[in-house]
Amino acid sequence: MQFKLFFILLIVIPTISFAQKAQVNAIVIDAETNQPIVGASAALLSQSTKAYIRGQQTEAGGKLNFEDVGPGTYALRVTYVGLTNYMHENIVITNKSTSIELGTLAMLSDGQRLKEVVVQGKVPELRLDIDKKVFDASQSMVSVGGTASDLLANVPTLQVDMDGSVSLRGSSSVRILIDGKESAMAGSDINSLLQSLPANAIDKVELITNPSSKYDAEGQSGIINIILKKNIRTGLNGNVNVSGGSYHNYMAGATLNYRDSKFNYFGSYNFNRRNNVGSGKRENFYRSNNSQINNTEESSRIGLNNTIKLGVDYYMDDKTTFSISSNLSIRDNNRTSELFYTYFNNPQFTGTSNRLSAQNEDDLGYDINFDFSRKLNEAGSELTANFSYGSDTEDGVNDFEQTYSDLYPMSSRINKTSEDGENINLQLDYVLPLGEDRKFESGYRGIIRNSFDTQFSDTLNTIDNSYLPDYSISNDFDMRSGVHALYVNYQDKLTQRIGYQIGLRAEQADLNTTYFSKDPTVPEDEIATDGKLDYFRVYPSAFLTYQIGEKEDKVQLSYTRRVQRPRGWQVNPFENVSDDMNRRQGNPNLMPEDIHSMELSYAKFYEKWNFISSAYYRRMNDVMQPYIYRVDEETSVTYSKWENLTNSNVAGLELISKINFASWLDATWNGNLSYNKFEGNPEYNIQEQEGINWDTNLTSNLKFTNTLAIQARADYFAPRIMAQGKSKYMTGVDVALRKDILNKKGSIMFNVRDLFDTRRFGAETFTPQVNSSFEHRWMKRMFTLSFSYRFGIQDLNRNKKNGDEMLGDDMGGEY
């Protein structure tokens, strides 16, 4: 089936155009000095939609030359640091056109523009597109000095829980990508990487709630794409930053970029000492014997993290680019927690006990990326390719020691764990415009993921004070998975205002696991237990868009089919005994969730106010959630594992609005209201549950002067129903103050996260055996002081006389 689809794509992709091509020529100069500008960024756009078609930079003498431009109506946009954007409209090319001469384009300085109109002096924090929301990380002052998890927690529509798990519209089954690809550095736990990656390494965050067939089909509620910083300015540019905060949290980093006409070299280094000081409590009431076990917890997660990024782009010509880049992550994590138990009417224990646990892990992850892009003869047509290889290793030791107030023997356990994983990404994409409003896209993507996990556990023998193997939770786990996909998309217009896009994505997926027992008493033919998941699915997508009036206002209706595949920790049967009374494990027989998603969006844009509203519906089959499957009546230990518990229906309304009250005050509000219904399942004694979930957040920026500003964010998450209970409400406030210094090349920032110390994640679980209630927070209120400095020559050639002689440096602009 894969080969059939591949050959069909080869047949239907048109690669030769017989239409007459033309050249578009211009010379770009500085209006103040009349000198040519070298290194200005020029983009050829569709006149009607302003969609990007191709781009280049001005060469010696400020020359621009776009070759092989097909018939159509275009606009030319030229941008340069410190100068106003220049837009040349209505460039008409016919079948008889051979050369279009635009003449001299004079760019004005920012100062001249400010005399003409009132302009906001910063990048928009949130750009609202009809199919995507783009969050600019540089505008989140409350996240400075924090990690990627802290930044994501301050992005509208996203939530981050106590374990760093990220949710979109209330669903943690979301696809998280870094630079458009799954990061191998994360291993099987993307949350650990996000908690170590500094927020200042991130350029922007893209939220795609209902992706088309071009994107990965995985992700119940959509895709979060984290774009890391990579400067592309001509000349030498850089940024250094340092911060310190409560509980000995420190961070420092540097980014450097150098670009000339043929090469762009970039690199960065970030160091992060992260200490998450948390606390929690849990109450378990056991129905069978009316006993109760309560515990409180104090925890600390200390991480020493080093991340390095290096790369180079090679511009062979104005059509062809080769890139190679690499990321390296070195993480040393030390986690400690102290749990204090109290026993009531328990058949095994009385009084209290104290449990100390310590976990030390060393992680090493890296990836290497090769990228290629080629602009083809047809205007706007492009072929891009990517090959990535990544590896992640993790070695750890967990110590547990529990002592009792009464005369029970002390218990102690030592777990040694190891994980080795690798990722391979293969991608090929082709884009072919078939006119001003028509476009054809196709491509292939392959993701291969392999990992091998091992765990060996020793328990204390109190008779002779020696440690003996515990083979019940000592084992190896081998996991091999692959997803191979082919897709096609076609975009066109029915009328001047009505457009549509239809797509089809075919995926072949497999997940093969092998569980190895380390127990020497197990017969040889029973040591290995295999699991296999192999399926082929087709994922259609359809989008219908109506443009209102001549503005950017749009209404869009879309449908996509998606999937949520089991992840490493969900299928790994290793038993987590960090809380010995509440043991958790994965299930290698999990089936993927099948998701059908519909969304109706309306975007409205005014001069100082815009908003986007989205009504959405999701049908999830075979929902994966942790399930308490057994409670030991003698020890009261609960055992839970991941299962396909039920089916779920979610209908909701999301609103996002950005208001610029004045040049010195703006606010962004987000609200999400949803109805969630879990169907009953007698097999797991699950009753039908339904309820209303909602959350809201507000971010406001107040500018006192041109160099002094304050930002505040408040959020509230109402209780949310789950298959076996419901979560508790959570709320918090973050505040940041920023002062620009050194002619705006430097900034001092002071922020407070969780100002009132109220953010706690909690939930209540109800089963026939046990009622459980818990609260936890993985970080208490924290104060952070940060400093950053931006430096660089914006263009090595800008002040050259006739482009030959260097006369000075331009140090302005924000990185």
Residue 614, CA distances (Å) to 313, 556, 598, 692, 693 in order: 38, 9, 10, 17, 16
Low-confidence ranges of the chain (pLDDT < 50): 2-19, 111-122, 130, 794-815
Tokens of 586: 């994965």
At position 558, the amino acid (one-letter code) is S
The residue among 766, 640, 634, 771 whose CA lies nearest residue 346 is 634
Phi and psi at residue 144, to the nearest 5°: -60, 135
Pair 97, 150 in one domain: no
Beta strand pairing status for 411-433 and 466-469?
Answer: unpaired
Fill in the amino acid letter for 539: Y
- Do residues 179 and 46 share a domain? no
How many domains does the chain contain in total?
A: 2
Is 808 domain-assigned? no
Domain C-terminal end among 116, 143, 162: 116
In a domain, residue 811? The reply is no
Inside any domain, residue 9: yes
pLDDT at position 114 is: 32
Rounded-to-integer distance, Cα 125 and Cα 658, Å: 9
CATH assignment of the domain containing 755: 2.40.170.20
Domain of residue 11 covers 2-116
Neighbours of 524 (CB within 10 A): 6
The pLDDT of residue 279 is 93
In tens, the pLDDT along 526-565 reads: 899 888 889 999 999 999 999 887 666 789 999 999 999 8
> Which pLDDT score is estimated for 807?
28
pLDDT tens string 574-623: 777 777 778 888 888 889 999 999 999 998 877 788 888 999 999 999 99
Q: Is residue 798 part of a domain?
A: no
Same domain, 334 and 382: yes
**How far is the C-alpha of 449 from the C-alpha of 472, rounded, in Å?**
27
Closest alpha carbon to 563 in 457, 632, 443, 481 = 481
Query: Which is nearest to 252 in space by CA: 240, 238, 262, 237?
Result: 240
Q: Pick from 85, 116, 147: which residue ends a domain?
A: 116
311, 324 Cβ separation under 8 angstroms: yes
**Those residues with Cβ within 8 angstroms of residue 389's Cβ, 6 or more apart along the chain or in another chain:** 184, 367, 368, 422, 423, 424, 425
Q: Are residues 334 and 438 in the same domain?
A: yes
Compute the distance between CA of residue 743 and CA of residue 813 in angstroms, rounded to an integer. Answer: 10
Q: What are phi and psi of 137, to 5 degrees?
A: -65, -30
Q: Is the domain of 368 the same as that of 476? A: yes
- Tell me which of 83, 116, 149 is where a domain ends: 116
Distance from C-alpha of 97 to C-alpha of 461, rounded to nearest angstrom: 89
Do 706 and 734 sit in the same domain of this protein? yes
Q: Domain check: are 100 and 146 in the same one? A: no
| 3-state SS, residue 7 | helix
Judge if 107 and 143 occupy the same domain.
no
Residue 540 is assigned to a structural domain of this protein: yes
424 neighbors 389 (Cβ within 8 angstroms): yes
260 occurs within a structural domain = yes
> What pTM value is reported for the model?
0.74
Q: Are residues 71 and 198 in the same domain?
A: no
Verify that 335 and 382 share a domain, yes or no. yes
pLDDT at residue 625, rounded to an integer: 85
Residue 429 bridge partners (DSSP): 384, 443
Distance of alpha carbon 172 from alpha carbon 569, whole angstroms: 14
The answer as to whether 814 is a domain residue is: no
- d(CA 814, CA 473) in angstroms, rounded, equals 54
- Let me know if residue 734 belongs to a domain: yes
Residues 436 and 93: beta-carbon distance below 8 Å: no
The torsion angles phi and psi of 394, rounded to 5 degrees, stand at -145, 125
- Count Cα atoms within 13 angstroms, Cβ side, for 801: 2
Q: How far is CA 591 from CA 572, 595, 607, 633, in A?
A: 14, 13, 49, 30
CATH of residue 102:
2.60.40.10
Distance between CA atoms of 803 and 260, rounded to whole angstroms?
13
In DSSP terms, which residues pair with 807 in a beta bridge? none
Q: Are residues 168 and 95 in the same domain?
A: no
Cβ atoms of 43 and 52 within 8 Å: the answer is yes
**Is the Cβ–Cβ distance between 31 and 71 less than 8 Å?**
no
Q: Are residues 85 and 142 in the same domain?
A: no
Which tokens sit at 608?
A: 């100082």
